[in-house]
Structure 1
Amino acid sequence: MSRLVAFAAIQGGYKVVAEVEGELEKALQSYDASTKIGFPNTAYYLPVIYSLTGIKCETLEDLKKPMEFARGLLPPHIKGKNHLPYLGPLLDAGMAGIFAYEVKEALRILEEPDFYIPTEDPDIEAGKMWVGPADDTILRKRGVEFVDGSAPGFAAVVGAAPDAETAKLIVEDYQKKSLYIFCAAHHNGKTIIEQCLEAGMQVGWNTRIVPFGPDISSAVFALGFANRAAMAFGGVEPGDYRRMLMYNKNRIFAFVNALGDVGTEWAVAAAGCVNWGFPTLADTDIPEILPTGICTYEHVVANVPHDEICQKSVEVRGLKINITEIDIPLAFGPAFEGERVRGGDLFGQMGGGKTQCTELVKMAEMNDIEDGKVEVIGPDIGDMKEGDVLPLGILVQIAGREFQEDFEPIMERQIHHLINYIQGIMHIGQRDISWVRISKAAVEKGFTLKDIGVVLHAKFHQDFQKIVDKVQVTLYTKQEDVDKITAQAREEYKTRDARVDTMTDEDVDTFYSCSLCQSFAPSHVCTVSPERTGLCGAYNWMDCKAAFEINPTGPNQPIQKGKVLDPKLGRFEGVDEFIKVASKGAIETYNFYSMVHAPMTTCGCCECIAAMLPACNGIMTVGRDYTGDTPCGMKFTTLAGVMGGGAASPGFVGHSKFNITQKKFILGDGGLLRLVWMPKIVKDEIRERLNARGLKWALRTSLT
């Protein structure tokens, strides 16, 4: 290992620790020692310090302890030309610098509370470019993507590229690979975020280009995000530093790109990241650390060309990504799903209340369709002028030896994601209330409606090889054709809904597991029944049944429910046997319909959490999008901190929004009538189903 690397990192550690010690002393002279500090709307204090040491920093006075810890980590200075540096002192110096950077950011938030905008998207027009540390709502929403693999990792990019064009090249390359890009620091007064904006890109959590902050200290938010994910979803206890660092090395695939001159402050941050197993790749000529050890492969790699840095980073980190090019003129991938096409960018649109836009997937006989055939019947983008609207009907016909009608709605729901994955195209809604907005930039690059069909054909084949043999896509843009396909689709929707809504747990002998979140919450096992949807809201019984048919070795496995041990609480012999094995003995039993008596485990990805309110003998529930206080005295983030990681906590339970209106919702504890509070945002979302449930109850009561 180069002496220069160790020298730079250790010097950087001393410099940063001394600087932050001075800032803390100044703050203690300006504020009372009991002044509250912390990152807004999180349950993890200062997450790097808390997760690795167990130290809870809640006041200015509390910051002295981690700074003393950091000072104690600093190794001796390198002396003499024959000094033989090794990795240990470099890692210690790096960790000291990381602790100091987190304290520095806490002091910034105290002294400049409006410096960061704690939302998913920055307000560029108002000059609010930096989002700062992700709050727990964002963490849990985005954490799901790290669970299901749609976000395989993140690139922590510090500094700036030589120009905006190069910045766009690098960032879009990561987006295509579905990675998050966590951005911090500046180089010669320029940041990569400013370059992305200059290149016309949209930044924020929704596009996976996250502008944490303008200084190298802001990079600590990326490490904090990784450690919070380990605590929230992996059940890693605060203070268990070895398990925390190993968890990140083995499960959070991240790395650092240093764009620009690497000084001592950047060097100590890079050394700190090596503790997590996160390597650094630089575009400049810096000393390298090539032998393996802490990281999977090399630790520091230099002189990486900008057009190769993405692929080289993925290779060095040992990250496996399956990328298949789709023949359309625009970039494609999950990173573009959150992109918005706003008024000034809009070329044309379909649906959204301005025209009819309908989507339908239907099973077809093998000889009735032609694989790969994509037709646009009616006007296409080339026939439109800027500002025009068109009706749109998307009919996807699928034939396959293993394909069933039950799979139609599952495939249909993929249309929303797949169209959104096209850069410059926005899709909202589903079924017959869809809305497609097309940007000017997409049209300039040659986008046509046929490209939607090309994407659907390719992705249905790629993602559902077991059940799909042929895919034919027809896009209708004439009003009479769209009206016809809409009438057909509404009849199909009605039949599907009636089939699912009328099912009960008594109707079936088989439930389904969902162990998708076990990679982060090892003891969690979700069981999905017709009247107990998955607590994340993404899976109902029909979905799990279809998923098992599609992938028999996947996370959705059949469970023979067996003997009913308690019909009111919802306890089943077969379920008990299954979860005992699936949780590796951590959970021996739970009840489907109770939050008081042995409730189901919760992974942290739940849409809602219900809690007992002893003062009124009632029950409340809160969704993860609600950030305010609740009657139980805890915000959603605090509740999730208690409930996550696969815990089964009597008096609390995670559940989906849909589950609230199902007949067996907390049946063992009094049912829906026991519910006394929920936030308006949840109530509005389930309003129609809630009213329908009330009418059925009222009718039943009047008859008895």
Structure 2
Amino acid sequence: MSRIIATAAIRGAHSIVKQAEEKLREAIESKGKDAKVDFPDTGYYLPIIYSATAFEVKTLGDCEEALGHARALLPPIPEEKIYLPYLGWALDAGIATLFAEEVIEACKYLIGPNPVDGIWLGAAADVILRERGIEFVDGTAPGFAAVVGAAPTNKIAVQIATELQEKNLYVFISGNTDGKSFAEQLDEEGVQLGWETRLVPFGKNITSTIYSLGFANKAALSFGGIKPADFTRNLIYNKNRIFAFVMALGEVDDEKYANAAGAINYGFPTIADTDIPEILPTGVCTYEHVVPLITHDKIVEKCIEVRGLKVAAAKVDIPVSYGPAFEGERIRKDDMQIEVGGPGTPAFEYVVMRDNNEIEDGKIEVVGPEMDEMEIGPGKPLGVYVEVSGRKMQPDFEPIFERRTHHFLGEAQGFFHMGQRDIIRHRISKDAFNKGFRIKHLGNIIHSKYHEEYGALLDKVQVTLYTSKEEVEKKLDEVKSAFTERDERALGMTDASVNQFYSCTLCQSFAPSHVCIISPERSGLCGAVSWLDGKAGYEITPTGPNQPIEKGKTIDEKLGLWEGTNEFLFNASNKEFEQVSMYSMVTNPMTSCGCFECISAMLPMTNGIMTVDRDYTGMTPCGMKFSTLAGTVGGGIQTPGFVGHSKFYMGSSKFISGDGGLARLVWMPKHLKDELTDALTEAANEAGLEDFINKIADETIAQTEEEVLEHLQKVKHPVLGLDPMF
């Protein structure tokens, strides 16, 4: 370890700990030691301190104790003539820095300046972790870049940001160089910032770097099942599964060195554009620890190499940048060249299977005017008519391809995609138009991505793009008829009507023992994978995460126990679990990874269950917020009395049917109740539960288990007549 870097990092750590002590003193003088502190909407307290020590920082008084931990980790600043092994000292100083920075940022939320200000977003809420974490699981986001400082020019900043986006990486931004931040440079050039575009500006001060590392810590706790205070496993998990690195732009001072030392603890190396001391031998990081003096045209490539990232960026023949980072891009009305679809304007996206001899691969045709012939503005009709063929292609795959079209088209920079089927609304920006993007390029994207993603199924892809109102309306009768037929076919499928279920082990990259078992009446717990998706996934990639599961002999029909599902679970969970009940949350429930849309938990006093979704940040009647529940249930374990699941599952006749079914549901957030009213009402009517939706309590009716029970008695909820769950 370079003595120069170690000394600088240790000096920086001493400086930041001192700042934290001063900030804490100011906060205590203003609010008192009993004042509550936290980051907004999280169940992980101050996540780095919590994950490292299991210490729950709840008050300013607790912050004093946390700073005691930081102060204890601080090594002495090395003297000029003393030469020692500095690695351990520098790493300790790095962790002390992170502890101190969490205290500083927590105090800011209490006494200011507020970390959320203008373009600065501050700490990531647990809702964001759930929404974005799945992208780290499925490989959509191979890792993140923690960019610290600023580029020499705004143009270089935009070039670096775009290249990182094209590599599908998240970009977490903090710190500044001579008062200028990388995020401010992007904002000045009109680049859209935020979680949607993966350009996330946490804060202008170097202390806001802890939000990047806090995100990684929370991912380990939530998805990896790592327990608080198991610091070694946390760091190993981050090194091997959260592929992140620090990109240091501009001058690196002592405090930046201290943050770099903190990041190295997690296996996250630092790559810089300036001439700083290097640390090339491998050790804590996979490869080099600090690599200096990389030119701006090579720095993204070098970061990926040093971190050991495997990035497969899509190559699509269009005149704009392309990648998942652009899917969240929004196009304002003033920036719009044209808008497709919307109220009163016919538009659709449709995929249909053909025989091989009926279509021509790569044929892309625009029937009607191109964008050059269209007036600027809304109200443009569009029919995206995709014909595919292949020996392994099946009609059941058509809707799966259609749903993926949403992502494929939306990943083009300057193209905003919303809706599906015959209710779509798209925008193309003036900037994309000026770069040469046209309607025909939608066909290029579809042809390229269909072959890339579904090459095992498809031989040919032909795309016709109808842009005249008459032609679009002419095709709509055929398209709507096909949609109706598909819906009827899917609704007729039940668990009993098939001999095979499908697995999804995609989340084992985060939760090694987790296995989703997907049936027609129980989708994957993330809500993104149906039985048909599982079937298609297996056809596309026979060795992939979706594998067929022969149900085999029935062991218990009520609980949903089969020999085949048990055998598959045992082998796929690394022999961790022997049985899984498809229809029970009490007896050997399905494992939960952390990507679930909802969690159901028993409320023993009521003899029923509550269900909470990840968008609800308040306290629940079981005494835990969603984030705390997720830590209890997630990580690939079976937790009797708790289960993660999709929203779709709640409207299924098999929803915890082994435990009494929908009649057990006694509480859920109001917004979730409103969202699922139609599905729950239909399921309740089929189960003979009269006026059931109005008998379910929500946070506007009851906030404690006692209040829920009082409501149940008042409305005569059917759960009161059921046998005990245990």
Q: TM-score, normalised by structure 1?
A: 0.95
How far did residue 143 of structure 1 move? 0.4
Partner of residue 179, structure 2: 189
Structure 1 residues 504-543: aligned runs within 5 Å: 504-543=494-533
Secondary structure of 1:594's partner? coil
- Given that 2:206 and 2:256 are in contact with CA atoms closer than 8 Å, whether structure 1 keeps it comes out as yes
**Which whole-Å CA distance do the structure 1 matches of 2:256 and 2:335 have between them?**
37
2:427 match: secondary structure: strand
Q: Structure 1 residue 665 and structure 2 residue 666: aligned?
A: no
What residue identity is the alignment partner of 1:234?
G
Map 1:333-412 onto structure 2 (within 5 A).
333-412=323-402
Quickly say closer, same or farther: Cα 1:700–1:288, change in 2 above 3 A: closer
The answer to whether the Cα contact below 8 Å between 1:116 and 1:128 also exists between their aligned partners in 2 is no
Residues 35 and 699 (structure 1), Cα distance of their counterparts in 2 relative to 1, 3 Å cut: closer
The Cα of 1:416 is off from its aligned counterpart by 0.3
* C-alpha distance in structure 2 between counterparts of 1:623 and 1:552, whole Å: 33
Aligned to 2:29: 29
Is 2:3 aligned against 1:3? yes
Q: Tell me, in whole angstroms, the C-alpha distance in 1 between the residues paired with 2:83 and 2:560.
A: 68
Compute the displacement of 1:237 (Å).
Answer: 1.1
| Matches of 1:376 and 1:691, distance apart in 2 | 44
Task: Give the 5 Å matches for 1:249-648.
Answer: 249-648=239-638
Q: How does 1:226-265 map to 2 (within 5 A)?
A: 226-265=216-255
Aligned-residue Cα RMSD (Å) equals: 1.8
Pair 1:685–1:352, CA change in 2 (3 A):
farther
Q: What is the distance in 2 between the residues matched to 1:641 and 1:162?
A: 42
The offset of 1:186, in angstroms, is 1.4
Q: 2:719 matched to which residue of 1?
A: none
The answer (yes or no) to whether the contact 2:238–2:266 under 8 Å persists in 1 is yes
AA partner of residue 7 (structure 1) = T
Corresponding position of 1:50: 50
Deviates more, 1:539-548 or 1:576-585: 576-585
Note the C-alpha offset of 1:80. 3.1
Q: Deviations over 1:25-61 (max 9, x none)?
A: 3333333222211111111111111111222211112
Q: Deviations along 1:461-482, whole A, 9 cap, x unmatched?
A: 1112211211111100122221
Q: Is the partner of 2:331 in helix, strand or coil?
A: coil
1:120 counterpart residue number: none
Between the aligned partners of 1:301 and 1:633, the Cα distance in structure 2 is 48
Distance 1:699 1:301 in 2: 65
Change (3 A) 1:700 1:189: closer
Question: What residue number does 1:141 align with?
Answer: 131
User: Corresponding residue for 1:69?
Assistant: 69
Per-residue CA distance 1:249-272 (angstroms, 9 max, x = gap)? 111111011111111011111111
| 1:344 Cα offset (Å) | 2.1
Deviates more, 1:98-107 or 1:622-631: 622-631
Q: Could you tell me how far 1:95 is from its partner in structure 2?
A: 1.6
Of residues 379-388 and 414-423 in structure 1, the stretch that sits farther from structure 2 once superposed is 379-388
| Secondary structure, counterpart of 2:517 in structure 1 | strand
Q: Which residue identity lines up with residue 613 of structure 2 in the other structure?
A: G
Q: Is the 8 A contact 1:115 1:130 kept in 2?
A: no
Q: Distance in 2 between matches of 1:683 and 1:71?
A: 48
Count of aligned pairs between the two proteins: 691
Report the AA paired with residue 98 of structure 2: I
Mean CA deviation greater in 252-261 or 101-110:
101-110
Query: 2-side partners of 1:580 and 1:85: how far apart?
Result: 47
Instruction: Provide the C-alpha distance between the structure 2 equivalents of 1:388 and 1:334, rounded to a whole number of angstroms.
Output: 25
Q: Which runs of 5+ in 1 are unaligned?
A: 118-126
AA matched with 2:437: F
SS at match of 2:173: strand
Residue 595 of structure 2 aligns to which amino acid in structure 1?
Answer: C
Cα 1:138/1:700, change in 2 over 3 Å: closer
Distance 2:435 2:316 in 1: 15
- Residue 128 of structure 1 aligns to a residue in which SS? coil
- Counterpart CA distance in 2 for 1:689 and 1:604 is 24
**In structure 2, what residue type is equivalent to 1:457?**
H
- Identify the range of structure 1 (255-264 vs 103-112) with the bigger mean alpha-carbon deviation: 103-112
Q: Percent identity?
A: 55
Question: Secondary structure, in 3 states, of the residue corresponding to 2:152?
Answer: coil
What is the alpha-carbon distance in structure 1 between the residues aligned to residue 686 and residue 15 of structure 2?
69
- 2:154 equivalent to 1:164: yes
> What CA distance in whole angstroms lies between the structure 1 residues aligned with 2:677 and 2:341?
23
2:190 is matched with 200
For residues 513 and 357 of structure 2, the distance between their equivalents in structure 1, rounded to whole angstroms, comes to 47
Amino acid at match of 1:104: I
Q: Which amino acid aligns with 2:66?
A: P
Which residue type is aligned with residue 312 of structure 1? K
Cα deviation 1:537-569 (Å, max 9, x = unaligned): 111111101111111111111111112222222
Q: Quick one: structure 1 residues 8 and 531, their matched pair in 2 at CA, closer, same or farther if it must change by over 3 Å?
A: same
| DSSP-derived class of the 1:72 partner | helix
CA distance in 2, matches of 1:596, 1:84: 57
3-state secondary structure, aligned to 2:552: coil
Moved more, 684-693 or 139-148: 684-693
Output the CA distance in 1 between the equivalents of 2:114 and 2:16: 21
How many Å separate the matches in 2 of 1:18 and 1:635? 34
Deviation string, structure 1 residues 312-369 (Cα, Å, up to 9, x no partner): 1111111111124211111100001111112222221111224121111111211221
3-state SS in 1 of match to 2:32: coil
Inter-partner Cα distance in structure 1 for 2:618 and 2:78: 51
State the secondary structure of the residue aligned to 2:286.
Answer: coil
Contact 2:601–2:643 (8 Å) recurs in 1: yes
State the AA in 2 paired with 1:12: G
Amino acid at match of 1:616: T
The answer to whether structure 1 residue 129 and structure 2 residue 119 are counterparts is yes
8 A Cα contact 1:6 1:85, kept in partner = no
Residue 642 (structure 2) pairs with residue 652 (structure 1)? yes
Secondary structure of the 2:565 match is helix
Which letter does structure 2 place at the counterpart of 1:497? D
Amino acid at match of 1:582: A
Q: How far off its partner does 1:694 sit?
A: 4.6
- Which whole-Å CA distance do the structure 2 matches of 1:352 and 1:610 have between them? 37
Query: Which stretch has the larger CA shift, 58-67 or 263-272?
Result: 58-67
Q: Are 2:36 and 2:59, in contact at CA under 8 Å, matched by a contact in 1? A: yes
2:41 maps to which residue? 41
What amino acid is aligned across from residue 501 of structure 1 in structure 2? Answer: L
Q: Which secondary structure does the structure 2 equivalent of 1:434 belong to?
A: strand
After superposition, the C-alpha distances for 1:75-115 in whole angstroms (9 at most, x for unaligned) are: 23222346355322221222211221111111111212x72
Distance in structure 1 (CA, Å) of the matches to 2:414 and 2:555? 54
More deviation, 497-506/77-86: 77-86
1:478 and 1:696, CA in 2 relative to 1: closer, same or farther beyond 3 A? Answer: farther
Deviation string, structure 1 residues 623-650 (Cα, Å, up to 9, x no partner): 2122233333332222212211123222
* CA distance, structure 2, for counterparts of residue 518 and residue 662 of structure 1: 26
Amino acid at match of 2:236: M
Q: CA deviation at 1:183?
A: 0.3
Q: Separation in 2 of the partners of 1:534 and 1:30?
A: 49
The residue aligned with 1:116 is: 115
